[in-house]
Amino acid sequence: MTTSRDQPRATPARRRRRRRAATAVVAALAAAGGALPPSPALAVNATHSTVVGANPVDWTPHALDGTVYRILQIGNRVYLAGSFTKVRNAGQTAQLAMPRLVAVDATTGRIDTTFRPVVNGTVKALAAAPDGRSLYLGGAFTTVNGVAAPRVARVDAATGARVAGFAPAALNNQVNDMRLVGNRLIVGGAFQTVGGVTRRALAALNATTGAADASVNLRVEGPRKTSSGATAPVKIEALDVSADGRRLVFVGNFSSVAGATRHQLAVANLTATGATLSGWSTDRYQPQCAKTMPTYLRGVDISPDGTWFVAVTTGAAFPGTLCDTASRFEFGTETGGKQPTWANYTGGDTLLSVAITGAAVYVGGHQRWLDNPLGRDSAGPGAVSRPGIGAIHPTTGKALPWNPTKDRGVGTQELYATEQGLWVGSDTVTVAGEYHARVAFLPLP
Q: 380-385 long-range contacts, Cβ below 8 Å, gap at least 24?
A: 380/347, 383/347
- Amino acid 78: pLDDT: 97
Q: What is the pTM (predicted TM-score) of this model?
A: 0.91
Q: Which of 100, 105, 96, 94 is nearest to 117 (CA)?
A: 100
- In whole numbers, what is the pLDDT of the chain averaged over residues? 91
Q: Which residues pair with 392 in a beta bridge?
A: 361, 399
pLDDT tens-digit readout, 38-85: 333 344 689 999 999 999 999 999 999 999 999 999 999 999 999 999
How far apart CA 304 and CA 47 sit, in angstroms, is 7
User: What is each CA distance from 8 to 105, 109, 283, in whole angstroms?
Assistant: 12, 8, 49
pLDDT tens-digit readout, 332-347: 999 999 999 999 999 9
The CATH T-level fold of domain 24-443 is Methylamine Dehydrogenase; Chain H (2.130.10)
User: What is each CA distance from 362 to 355, 390, 435, in whole angstroms?
Assistant: 5, 6, 21
User: What is each CA distance from 313 to 299, 324, 334, 438, in whole angstroms?
Assistant: 7, 5, 23, 21
Amino acid at 417: A
Phi/psi class of residue 229: alpha, beta or left (left: φ > 0; alpha: ψ in -120 to 50)? left
